[in-house]
Amino acid sequence: MKFEKQLSDLNKYVNEYYSCNLQDGKLSLLMQKITGLLYYLETERSKTHDLYENAVFKLVKGGSTVARAVNEANVLYPEMYQLRRIMDGGYRIVDAIRTNISYLKSEKQSIN
């Protein structure tokens, strides 16, 4: 799966979560899809992080200060920041879905 496709799919599922009826049982499916995509994005983040760290190392070894090397690596690998922020948001959404599922389950048990 390509990085852009993964982000597009994640965005689609997040939008479905925000627009779905919490009573229709779709939450578990959405959580499954989102957590699966987050796994794949973690592999992308890991690969990008290795490239980013190698760039910083080479720049420092080439005479740049650490601060300058980090700034240059941020320009070379802007997806590092993007992945970090999007994935943090994705994990918060998974937490919200899990909370909704637990609430619905407890409501169902209290009715019975």
How does the average pLDDT of the chain come out, rounded?
A: 90
68 phi and psi, to 5 degrees? -65, -40
pTM here is 0.81
Domain that holds residue 88: 3-111
What six digits make up the tokens of 64? 């740049």
Distance CA 69, CA 59 (A): 5
What six digits make up the tokens of 58? 């080479």
Number of domains in the chain: 1
pLDDT tens for each residue of 30-84:
999 999 999 999 999 999 999 999 999 999 999 999 999 999 999 999 999 999 9
